[in-house]
Amino acid sequence: MRIGFIGDVVGKPGRDMINSHLKRLKNEFCIDIVIANTENASHGFGVSAKNAAELFKNGIDVMSGGNHTWDRGEIVECMKTMPILRPYNLPDIVPGRGSMVCDINGAKLGVINLMGHFTMPICDNPFLKVQEAVKSLKEQGAEAVFIDFHAESTSEKTALFAMLKGEISAIVGTHTHIGTDDLTIDNGTLFLCDIGLTGCRDGVIGVDKEAPIKRFLTGLNYPFEIPKQCKKIFQMVVFDVDGRVCMDAFKIKIYDENEREITKARHE
């Protein structure tokens, strides 16, 4: 099976890039399923029911989240009818689910949404909970398992990869909005520390630069705004899985409407 994953979709610029490019890319590269982290899709904070429906219509098949999942209360109702995940390692009393099994042409793909500890809201130990999640998905017949690890710390992400490589198919990090250049396949497991945002590329982490600069200068909490006009980027990692093993992978970047870069994964 061929899987696509898109990291933090930030605001209308990010949604516009999805709407402009995703369906065409799915057809061009014969992608079977696209998973996307959409916790910033509605003006940078959460995803509304309207925007979730829009993104599903334009090619996303499964949505994941993180620390901004609950910024819009309507998401709770959306989770009852839409394939939207929240971090698996949140307390059990929290609404929603943190993993699911997707049937793709007779093969089963397990998807886990996980959240790190460093700078994040209260959650259970991701290193312990993920073992429970992987075991459960495999018991449900999923040979291939993908994890969106929504975490600030590169060491958390790298350590999780070191713990799970050879057991699952892929781990891709989200949350920092800054893409890393470590796309690697080792022992049949794909790893990318952070895929980077889809949205405005000429501000600071997808928002207008003025508020972040003022925060750093003063320590005061200036509100973030999504620019109405900006230079945009679309980022997606695409990987092929045979059984549990990731066979190959590449990352697609599209700048604005035309310029495209494709980077292949390194095989260790």
The model's pLDDT over 8-67, given as tens digits with 9 standing for 90+, comes to 999 999 999 999 999 999 999 999 999 999 999 999 999 999 999 999 999 999 999 999
Position with higher pLDDT, 257 vs 179: 179
In the chain, the largest separation of any two C-alpha atoms, in whole Å, equals 56
Considering the entire predicted model, what is its pTM?
0.96
Which CATH number belongs to the domain containing residue 178 in this structure? 3.60.21.10
Which residue matches tokens 């889809």?
198
Tell me the C-alpha distance between 57 and 95, whole Å. 24
Q: What percent of the chain is predicted at pLDDT more than 90? A: 97
Average of pLDDT values for 119-140?
A: 96
Q: Which of 21, 43, 68, 150 is catalytic?
A: 68
pLDDT > 90? residue 257: no
- How do 184-186 and 266-267 pair as beta strands? parallel
pLDDT the model gives residue 205: 96
Q: What is the DSSP string of 96-153?
A: S-SEEEEEETTEEEEEEEEE-STTSPS---HHHHHHHHHHHHHHTT-SEEEEEEE-S-
| Domain, as residue range, for 91 | 2-267
Tell me the C-alpha distance between 77 and 238, whole Å. 30
| Count of other CB atoms within 10 angstroms of residue 176 | 21
pLDDT digits (tens, 9 = 90+) for 70-109: 999 999 999 999 999 999 999 999 999 999 999 998 999 9
Q: In what order do the strands lie in the sheet with 170-174?
A: 99-104, 107-115, 144-150, 170-174, 189-192, 184-186, 266-267
pLDDT the model gives residue 136: 98
pLDDT the model gives residue 33: 98
Question: Does residue 68 have an active-site annotation?
Answer: yes
pLDDT the model gives residue 122: 87
The three-point CA angle 198-246-242 to 5° equals 120
pLDDT > 90? residue 258: no
Name the average pLDDT for the chain: 97
Average of pLDDT values for 175-203?
A: 97
Count of domains forming the chain: 1
